[in-house]
């Protein structure tokens, strides 16, 4: 295989909603370039992209697939991404390591929520976008309506390169307004018949051609002047103008294809090969120091590992992009992320599970290697003397969580090893061993995302597991001041135990002063604070301890033991066993014994005095609350609103955004446990949502009563 130089390499991501036909389009692209001799199909389970067992089981993509095509002296690297919103991590990864996004739109369903989410990601990353309107041969295909929808959502930058002469099962021809030709196919698709535009279509074609020429000329002053002078541009000038427009995101070309029948694919491939920006046409990425790393084949050698997977009969495969320099077989590199050394013994260009061994890859290229010792997704491999690292991929927070455990308790350690490995393959699977909840929590982007994980663990690793609803990390606090004292006294022969602690608790907020006096009933207590400890709690909030002891009632050396006793109860609140927060404790009196007082005595006295005072301070349970944004089609907004209100949501606002309604709400985490499944059911999979932690709020009194009752029952059982 030829060694391609940086100015000959293009990196492209295939994106779109589930079912839009990306995998089928990938097959046709590979077939048209001669990489495969026969096109596979999703139904036959023999496509280049979907080769993992779980993908064959479900019938659509779960993982991104890397493949390449050699076209007209250029190398085009593609990453075919899953369309389901649950696997958005793959699309985010692909867009960060490629330079152009081809967004596939189903002509039968138009712009879906997933399409909009992907487009937002391309905008955030400033990536060029090309639209491929697919399935024009579908029963419900409506090109004109979808084009109008695209203009409403994506704006006037949407520019037609082609339009079909007929949609539906009879689709077999289109007008190309860039080349001003008619393309027509036989029943088998493939090589088109190219002819002149029919007279009845000329007026429309010329109008769209003019719009395209103007859009191309806008990106170059020289081209704009020539267009004003001559009224037209040459084909090469058009290509150059469109390329610049793609880089600037000032033009979004639209192509027409039927990937299933291989119609329009060859023409789109020509455009990708001739017009799409090369690696070195795009702005250079930055390393963690904010320095630009240009794709220079003569620069320091630096690789970024963007994907790892365990593949049948091979083991671990590491996929990387050559950020700088030229990679040769046998080179030794430093893994800056893990402090280890690796030797690159083999280099492959990959096409799904087909691997072609090569001797070298230049800056900007994408490849793979196998059997590295200690490499994970997101690691950087540099040559000696280079210390560049990268962390430019930002993944979304989990939207769906479950507690997971093995059916056989003795398999717990094995399960954690599997989950850790799977997180390394897909960083949007987030694993946490929660000390607080005493559960292993796995988070993902949706119910199907986690169901896929379960399928793989049970079928690939042969380890039966159980999913359960995760416990909620409640918090406890108090709402008024209260006083208590406790004497710990124990005598069992020899030295005994004695410690007495008097304290006051009250709710705490940052900066609040300590009152000079407290009044409880007819008693008044004057405070003289000697010192204050402010303890930030790992789970949020603070514990503030004020030492107001006078006259040596308790020796200063016992204060740390009392604080330990307080922390015992902060870690296991008296109400529900949850963490407590935002409490101030004033230790104002006590007693000690010259012989029997020791640290354990005062720790127990402090713990029990705190428990009693906490219970008398009108304690409340707090629950985590999240800000939730839901994107829904207008026709189901009422149903989604009703469902949210049934989840104790507070609706914060509603706005219209690009043809969809955006509902902003504040929802308790307890009510979000199965929301992704419910939302998909209500809207037929046409909606999406994001959620981010807002803070803790008091639970309603009826909910608190249930929580206290459940805790009391579980404690009595224990």
Q: Are residues 665 and 680 in the same domain?
A: yes
Residue 239 lies in a domain: no
* Whether residue 660 has pLDDT greater than 90: no
Q: Two tokens at 662?
A: 């955006």
Residues 383-420 have pLDDT tens digits of 999 999 998 888 988 889 999 999 999 999 999 999 99
Task: Provide mean pLDDT across the span 44-66.
Answer: 75
Phi and psi of 610, rounded to 5°? -65, -45
Alpha-carbon span 674 to 657, nearest angstrom: 26
Task: Provide mean pLDDT across the span 167-172.
Answer: 93
Residue 254 lies in a domain: yes
Per the structure, the complete domain to which residue 462 belongs is given by: 400-471
Whole-number pLDDT of residue 634: 85
For residues 81 and 14, the answer to whether their CB atoms sit within 8 Å is yes
Q: Are residues 145 and 194 in the same domain?
A: yes
CATH of the domain at 264: 3.40.50.300
Q: Are residues 481 and 421 in the same domain?
A: no
CA dihedral 572, 577, 580, 586 (to 10 degrees): -60
- Which range in 313-317, 550-554, 562-566 is most confidently predicted, on average pLDDT? 562-566
Q: How many domains does the chain have?
A: 5
Please, what's the b/e burial string for 397-430 (b: 16 or more CB within 10 A of its CB; e: otherwise)? ebbbbbbbebeeeebeeebeebbeebbbbbbbbb
* Whether residue 509 has pLDDT greater than 80: yes
Rounded to two decimals, the pTM is: 0.82
Which residue do the tokens 């108090």 mark?
478
Q: Are residues 456 and 507 in the same domain?
A: no
Residue 49 lies in a domain: yes
- Tell me the pLDDT band of 454, cut-offs 50, 70 and 90: very high
Helix axes 221-230 and 235-247, enclosed angle (nearest 10):
140
How many Cβ atoms are within 10 Å of 471's Cβ, its own excluded?
Answer: 15
Residue 207 lies in a domain: no
Q: Where are the beta strands (DSSP E) in 551-658?
A: 579-580, 583-591, 620-632, 650-657
Q: Which residue, 331, 349, 382, sits at the end of a domain?
A: 382
CATH of the domain at 333: 2.40.30.10
Q: Are residues 450 and 491 in the same domain?
A: no
Q: Are residues 46 and 125 in the same domain?
A: yes
Q: Are residues 23 and 164 in the same domain?
A: yes
Residue 515 lies in a domain: yes
Q: Are residues 141 and 32 in the same domain?
A: yes
Residue 296 lies in a domain: no
Nearest Cα to Cα of residue 337 among 368, 378, 292 = 378
Residue 582 lies in a domain: yes
Residues 80-109 have pLDDT tens digits of 998 888 888 999 999 999 999 999 999 999
DSSP-derived secondary structure letter, 712: H
Alpha-carbon span 412 to 406, nearest angstrom: 6
Q: Which residue, 441, 471, 501, sits at the end of a domain?
A: 471
Which H or E element spans position 455? helix 447-459
Residues 172-227 have pLDDT tens digits of 999 999 999 999 999 888 899 999 999 999 999 999 998 998 888 887 777 777 76
Straight-line distance from the first to the last Cα atom of the chain, in angstroms, rounded to the nearest whole number? 68
Q: What is the DSSP pairing of strand 158-160 with strand 129-134? A: unpaired
Please, what's the b/e burial string for 627-650 (b: 16 or more CB within 10 A of its CB; e: otherwise)? ebbbbbbeebbeebbebbeebbbe
Phi and psi of 51, rounded to 5°? -110, -5
Alpha-carbon span 473 to 481, nearest angstrom: 25
Please, what's the b/e burial string for 160-197 (b: 16 or more CB within 10 A of its CB; e: otherwise)? bbbbbbebbeebbbbbbbbbebbbebeeebeebeeeeb
Strand arrangement of the beta sheet that strand 162-164 belongs to: 162-164, 173-176, 181-184, 193-195
Residues 413-437 have pLDDT tens digits of 999 999 998 898 889 999 999 988 8
Q: Are residues 121 and 259 in the same domain?
A: yes
Q: Are residues 25 and 128 in the same domain?
A: yes
Q: Burial, 249: exposed, middle or buried (Cβ in 10 Å; 0-12, 13-18, 19+)?
A: middle
313: left (phi over 0), alpha (psi -120 to 50) or beta: left
* Whether residue 55 has pLDDT greater than 80: no
Whole-number pLDDT of residue 718: 54
Residues 348-372 have pLDDT tens digits of 999 888 889 999 999 999 999 998 9
Task: Provide mean pLDDT across the span 296-323.
Answer: 90
Task: Provide mean pLDDT across the span 599-605.
Answer: 95
Whole-number pLDDT of residue 116: 86
Q: Are residues 327 and 378 in the same domain?
A: yes
Whole-number pLDDT of residue 77: 96
Whole-number pLDDT of residue 224: 73
Residues 257-288 have pLDDT tens digits of 999 999 999 999 999 999 999 999 999 999 99
Q: Two tokens at 323?
A: 């950020």
Residues 6+ apart with CB under 8 A from 387: 336
Task: Provide mean pLDDT across the span 486-498.
Answer: 84
Q: Two tokens at 695?
A: 């803070």
CATH of the domain at 432: 3.30.70.870
How many Cβ atoms are within 10 Å of 225's Cβ, its own excluded?
Answer: 11
Alpha-carbon span 651 to 667, nearest angstrom: 9
Q: Are residues 117 and 260 in the same domain?
A: yes
Residue 647 lies in a domain: yes
Q: Two tokens at 524?
A: 């008044």
Whole-number pLDDT of residue 197: 95
Residues 6+ apart with CB under 8 A from 694: 625, 626, 627, 666
For residues 399 and 677, the answer to whether their CB atoms sit within 8 Å is no
Task: Provide mean pLDDT across the span 674-686.
Answer: 86
Alpha-carbon span 446 to 296, nearest angstrom: 40
Min mean pLDDT across 32-46, 516-530, 611-625, 657-671 is at: 32-46
Nearest Cα to Cα of residue 563 among 598, 610, 527, 515 = 610
Q: Which residue, 618, 650, 673, sits at the end of a domain?
A: 618
Task: Provide mean pLDDT across the span 700-704.
Answer: 92
Average pLDDT, the chain: 90
For residues 257 and 274, the answer to whether their CB atoms sit within 8 Å is no
Whole-number pLDDT of residue 231: 65
Phi and psi of 333, rounded to 5°? -130, 155
Whole-number pLDDT of residue 215: 87
- Tell me the pLDDT band of 249, cut-offs 50, 70 and 90: very high
Task: Provide mean pLDDT across the span 136-156.
Answer: 93
Q: Two tokens at 29?
A: 């692209």
Q: Two tokens at 465?
A: 């597991």
Residues 328-340 have pLDDT tens digits of 999 999 999 888 9
Alpha-carbon span 123 to 128, nearest angstrom: 8
């Amino acid at each position: 295989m030829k060694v391609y130089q940086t100015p000959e390499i293009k990196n492209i991501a295939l994106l779109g909603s589930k079912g839009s036909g990306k995998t089928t389009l990938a097959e046709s692209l590979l077939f048209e370039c001669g990489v495969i001799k026969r096109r596979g199909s999703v139904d036959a389970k023999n496509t280049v992209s979907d080769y993992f067992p779980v993908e064959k089981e479900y019938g659509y993509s779960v993982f991104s697939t890397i493949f390449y095509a050699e076209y007209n002296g250029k190398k085009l690297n593609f990453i075919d991404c899953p369309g389901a919103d649950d696997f958005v991590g793959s699309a985010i990864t692909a867009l960060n390591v490629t330079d152009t996004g081809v967004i596939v739109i189903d002509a039968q369903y138009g712009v879906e929520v997933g399409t909009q989410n992907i487009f937002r990601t391309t905008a955030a990353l400033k990536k060029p976008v090309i639209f491929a309107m697919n399935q024009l041969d579908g029963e419900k295909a409506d090109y004109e309506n979808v084009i109008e929808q695209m203009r409403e959502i994506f704006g006037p930058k949407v520019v037609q390169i082609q339009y079909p002469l007929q949609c539906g099962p009879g689709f077999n021809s289109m007008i190309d307004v860039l080349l001003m030709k008619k393309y027509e196919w036989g029943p088998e698709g493939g090589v088109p018949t190219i002819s002149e535009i029919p007279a009845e279509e000329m007026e429309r074609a010329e109008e769209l051609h003019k719009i395209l020429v103007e859009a191309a000329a806008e990106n170059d002053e020289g081209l704009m002047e020539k267009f004003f002078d001559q009224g037209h541009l040459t084909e090469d000038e058009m290509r150059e103008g469109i390329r610049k427009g793609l880089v600037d995101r000032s033009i979004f070309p639209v192509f027409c294809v039927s990937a299933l029948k291989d119609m329009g694919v060859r023409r789109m491939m020509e455009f990708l090969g001739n017009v799409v920006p090369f690696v070195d046409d795009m702005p250079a990425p930055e390393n963690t120091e904010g320095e630009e790393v240009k794709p220079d084949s003569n620069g320091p050698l630096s690789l970024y590992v963007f994907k790892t997977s365990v593949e049948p009969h091979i083991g671990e495969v590491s996929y990387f992009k050559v950020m700088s320099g030229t990679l040769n077989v046998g080179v030794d590199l430093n893994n800056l992320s893990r402090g280890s050394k690796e030797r690159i013994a083999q280099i492959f260009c990959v096409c799904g599970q087909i691997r072609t061994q090569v001797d070298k890859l230049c800056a900007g290229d994408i490849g793979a290697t196998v059997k590295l010792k200690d490499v994970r997704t997101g690691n950087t491999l540099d040559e000696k003397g280079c210390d560049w690292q990268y962390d430019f991929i930002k993944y979304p927070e989990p939207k769906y969580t479950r507690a997971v455990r093995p059916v056989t308790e003795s398999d717990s350690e094995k399960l954690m090893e599997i989950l850790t490995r799977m997180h390394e393959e897909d960083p949007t699977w987030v694993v946490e061993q929660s000390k607080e909840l005493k559960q292993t929590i796995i988070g993902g982007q949706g119910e199907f995302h986690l169901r896929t994980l379960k399928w793989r663990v049970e079928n690939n690793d042969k380890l039966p597991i159980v999913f359960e609803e995760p416990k909620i990390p409640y918090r406890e606090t108090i709402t008024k001041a209260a006083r208590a004292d406790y004497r710990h006294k124990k005598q069992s022969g020899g030295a005994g135990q004695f410690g007495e602690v008097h304290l006051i608790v009250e709710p705490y907020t940052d900066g609040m002063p300590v009152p000079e006096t407290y009044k409880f009933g007819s008693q008044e207590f004057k405070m003289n604070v000697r010192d204050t400890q402010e303890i930030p709690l790992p789970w949020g909030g603070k514990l503030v301890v004020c030492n107001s002891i006078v006259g040596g009632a308790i020796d200063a050396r016992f204060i740390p033991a009392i604080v330990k006793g307080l922390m015992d109860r902060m870690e296991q609140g008296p109400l529900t066993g949850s963490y407590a927060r935002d409490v101030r404790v004033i230790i104002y009196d006590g007693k000690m014994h010259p012989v029997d007082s020791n640290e354990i005595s005062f720790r127990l006295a402090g713990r029990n005095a705190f428990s009693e005072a906490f219970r008398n301070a009108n304690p409340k349970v707090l629950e985590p609350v999240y800000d939730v944004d839901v994107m829904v089609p207008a026709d189901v907004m009422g149903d989604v609103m009703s469902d949210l209100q049934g989840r104790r949501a507070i609706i914060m606002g509603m706005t219209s955004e690009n043809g969809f309604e955006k509902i902003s709400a504040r929802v308790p985490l307890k009510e979000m446990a199965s929301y992704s499944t419910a939302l998909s059911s209500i809207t037929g999979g046409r909606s999406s949502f994001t959620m981010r932690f807002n803070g803790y709020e008091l639970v309603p009194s009826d909910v608190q009563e249930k929580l206290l009752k459940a805790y009391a029952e579980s404690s009595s059982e224990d």
